[in-house]
């Protein structure tokens, strides 16, 4: 008996959607299984609604600066409840759009939670842990179910939020404690502070944004502290007491912080529970699904892309992995994703963006004497009249032996937009001389990248 589909995709997030639509375009009969809204973490409870909140906080900041430009706007107050409602409405609009895109692509959307029930069979349940109500068969299966926030086990954890919750709240309390040091912790701390809340960040280690260039992370920390965010290093939350809106956070150093809410932003994990991987013989490794460069698991007809593989957990990477899988398997155009040169941004305040090697990574690869570091640190023209705000930091890392620019980094306004373009010459192997030959666009922040001595 022929299988029901050429491809069944588990998970309608960024990677799954990209793979399903591309495979259908190549002529495959495709179904995608999703028990939640269509769009995945990025669209529903990640990149998109978070960036809208960033804009909301930024708008308040611009209005506060207005008198510096001769504009009188009176008091500046944020209606957080209204902002959150508008963000949710936009997410719902995008969810509908993605459903329509699937229909136009010829992909069948199957509502329910999918799990492997055999090497080529997928069971569908209306509840994630509920009984299987329908069975599908497929020649190939793609697992693209993503990840979810980790919720540490500690007393009172039920009183805490994870990042998913931040988009469903009706409003925010006046004071929040954020636990974590990564993307999500820094971004939400800056959003909440930008909306007028009192924010304390609790960090287990001794630095923010591990994995990024240390100097850039320090510049973000400086900007966060300048905005009034309290950051405490070397401590952890031991317990959370009280009632929602009136909480007490007990720290490992013996201090207690009163607050209205607690956000646990202490990392994400692949969402593997209930997938039935053992029924198909799919191997796990350190809580993730390992795959080869062609996205294939240890089972030749079962593939995985995105955060469930825990490689480079970014939306554009998942999309490219999904498309590469479809092009290779169904399009007759084999290609592999380059995970070595991926631009990244943290939408904190100030904003950080980076592509290539950090100074620390470059030193490890080429030696301290084998690299040259060029940097510029200044207050941008946009901050001249308000006469406040953090300074920009622009940084180039150059391999001395080849003159190639191996790292390009920035903290400051529009950093992500600028570094996106800088990723192109780095991917082409541009040298410092190539940067120097490029005429500056003046006055701009980014001109510093081509005028560094």
- pLDDT tens-digit profile of 300-351? 999 999 999 999 999 999 999 999 999 999 999 999 999 999 999 999 999 9
Whether 77 has a pLDDT exceeding 90, the answer reads no
Average pLDDT over residues 343-369: 98
Query: By the 8 A CB rule, do 173 and 160 touch?
Result: no
| Same-domain status, 43 and 170 | no
> What is residue 306's three-state secondary structure?
helix
Does residue 41 sit within a domain? yes
For helices 80-105 and 14-25, angle between their N-to-C axes, nearest 10 degrees: 20
Whether 377 has a pLDDT exceeding 90, the answer reads yes
Structure tokens at 216: 């850039």
Nearest 5 degrees, angle CA 446-CA 314-CA 310? 140
Query: For 239, how many CA atoms within 13 A lie in the half-sphere containing its CB?
Result: 5
What mean pLDDT value characterizes the chain? Answer: 97
pLDDT in tens, 280-295: 999 999 999 999 999 9
Query: For 224, how many CA atoms within 13 A lie in the half-sphere containing its CB?
Result: 32
Among 180, 193, 275, which residue's Cα sits nearest to residue 228?
193
Whether 389 has a pLDDT exceeding 80, the answer reads yes
| Same-domain status, 383 and 416 | yes
Residue 374: CB atoms within 10 Å: 17
| Same-domain status, 136 and 273 | yes
Does residue 338 sit within a domain? no
| Same-domain status, 109 and 198 | no
Does residue 339 sit within a domain? no
Q: What is the pTM of this model?
A: 0.96
> What is residue 408's three-state secondary structure?
strand
Buried/exposed code over 187-208 (b: 16+ C-beta within 10 A; e: otherwise): bbbbbbbbbebbbbbbbeeeeb
Does residue 335 sit within a domain? no
| Same-domain status, 131 and 161 | no
Q: Which pLDDT does position 191 carry in this prediction? A: 98
| Same-domain status, 202 and 220 | yes
Does residue 337 sit within a domain? no
CA dihedral 130, 133, 135, 140 (to 10 degrees): -40
Average pLDDT over residues 46-62: 96
Which residue reads 């701009």 in tokens?
444
**Helix (H), strand (E) counts: the chain:** 11, 21
pLDDT in tens, 104-156: 999 999 999 999 999 999 999 999 999 999 999 999 999 999 999 999 999 99
| Same-domain status, 224 and 273 | no
The catalytic residues are: 442
| Same-domain status, 168 and 123 | no
Query: For 80, how many CA atoms within 13 A lie in the half-sphere containing its CB?
Result: 18
Whether 1 has a pLDDT exceeding 80, the answer reads no
Stated as kind and residue range, the H or E segment containing 449 is none
The pLDDT confidence band at residue 436, using thresholds 50, 70 and 90, is very high
Buried/exposed code over 8-38 (b: 16+ C-beta within 10 A; e: otherwise): bbbbbbbbbbbbbbbbbbbebbbbbbbbbbb
Average pLDDT over residues 87-114: 98
Q: Which pLDDT does position 100 carry in this prediction? A: 98
Query: By the 8 A CB rule, do 133 and 125 touch?
Result: yes
Q: Which pLDDT does position 113 carry in this prediction? A: 98
| Same-domain status, 13 and 138 | yes
In the chain, how many domains are there? 3
Does residue 343 sit within a domain? no
| Same-domain status, 164 and 123 | no
Please provide the DSSP assignment of 298-331 as one string: SSTTEEE-GGGG-SS--HHHHHHHHHHHHHHHTS
pLDDT in tens, 154-206: 999 999 999 999 999 999 999 999 999 999 999 999 999 999 999 999 999 99
Nearest 5 degrees, angle CA 342-CA 164-CA 157? 120
Does residue 133 sit within a domain? yes
| Same-domain status, 190 and 222 | yes
Average pLDDT over residues 423-452: 97
| Same-domain status, 261 and 174 | yes
Q: Which pLDDT does position 74 carry in this prediction? A: 83
CATH assignment at residue 86 = 3.50.50.60
Residue 402: beta bridge partners? none
Q: Which pLDDT does position 338 carry in this prediction? A: 94
| 213, 241, 266 - which closes a domain | 266
User: What proportion of the chain, given as a percentage, has pLDDT over 90?
Assistant: 96
Task: Report the distance separating Cα 12 and Cα 142, nearest Å.
Answer: 11
pLDDT in tens, 224-257: 999 999 999 999 999 999 999 999 999 999 999 9
**Which residue range is the domain that position 126 belongs to?**
5-149+269-329
Residue 167 DSSP label? G
Q: Which pLDDT does position 238 carry in this prediction? A: 98
CATH assignment at residue 365 = 3.30.390.30
Does residue 282 sit within a domain? yes
């Amino acid at each position: 008996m022929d299988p029901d589909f050429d491809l069944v995709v588990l998970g309608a997030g960024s990677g799954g959607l990209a793979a399903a639509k591309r495979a259908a375009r190549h002529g495959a009969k495709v179904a995608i299984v999703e028990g939640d809204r269509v769009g995945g973490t990025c669209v529903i409870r990640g990149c998109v609604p978070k960036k809208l909140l960033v804009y909301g906080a930024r708008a308040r900041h611009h209005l506060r600066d207005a008198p510096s430009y001769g504009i009188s706007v009176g008091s500046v107050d944020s209606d957080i409840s209204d902002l959150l409602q508008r963000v949710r409405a936009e997410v719902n609009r995008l969810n509908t759009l993605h459903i329509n895109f699937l229909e136009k692509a010829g992909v069948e959307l199957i509502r329910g939670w999918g799990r492997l029930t055999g090497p080529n069979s997928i069971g569908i349940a209306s509840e994630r842990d509920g009984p299987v109500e329908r069975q599908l068969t497929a020649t190939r299966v793609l697992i693209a179910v993503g990840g979810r926030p980790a919720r540490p086990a500690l007393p009172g954890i039920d009183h805490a939020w994870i990042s998913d919750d931040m988009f469903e709240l009706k409003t925010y309390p006046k004071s929040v404690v954020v636990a974590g040091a990564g993307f999500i912790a820094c971004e939400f701390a800056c959003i909440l502070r930008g909306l007028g809340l009192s924010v304390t960040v609790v960090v287990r280690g001794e630095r923010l944004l591990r994995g990024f260039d240390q100097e850039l992370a320090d510049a973000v920390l400086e900007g966060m502290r300048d905005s009034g965010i309290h950051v405490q290093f070397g401590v952890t939350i031991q317990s959370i007491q009280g009632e929602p809106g009136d909480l007490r956070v007990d720290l490992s150093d013996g201090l207690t912080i009163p607050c209205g809410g607690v956000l646990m932003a202490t990392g994400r994990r692949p969402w593997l529970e209930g997938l039935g991987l053992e029924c198909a013989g799919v191997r796990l490794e350190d809580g993730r699904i390992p795959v080869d460069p062609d996205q294939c698991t240890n089972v030749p007809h079962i593939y995985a892309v995105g955060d469930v593989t825990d490689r480079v957990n970014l939306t554009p990477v998942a999309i490219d992995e999904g498309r590469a899988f479809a092009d290779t398997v169904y399009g007759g155009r084999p290609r592999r994703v380059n995970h070595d040169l991926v631009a990244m941004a943290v939408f904190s305040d100030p904003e950080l963006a980076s592509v290539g090697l950090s100074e620390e990574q470059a030193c490890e690869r080429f030696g301290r004497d084998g690299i040259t570091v060029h940097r510029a640190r200044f207050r941008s023209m946009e901050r001249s009249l308000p006469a406040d705000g953090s300074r920009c930091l622009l940084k180039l890392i150059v391999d001395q032996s080849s003159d190639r620019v191996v790292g390009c980094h920035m903290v400051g306004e529009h950093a992500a937009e600028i570094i996106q373009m800088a990723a192109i010459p780095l991917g082409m192997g541009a040298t410092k001389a190539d940067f120097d030959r490029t005429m500056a666009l003046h006055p701009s922040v980014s001109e510093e990248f081509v005028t560094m001595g």
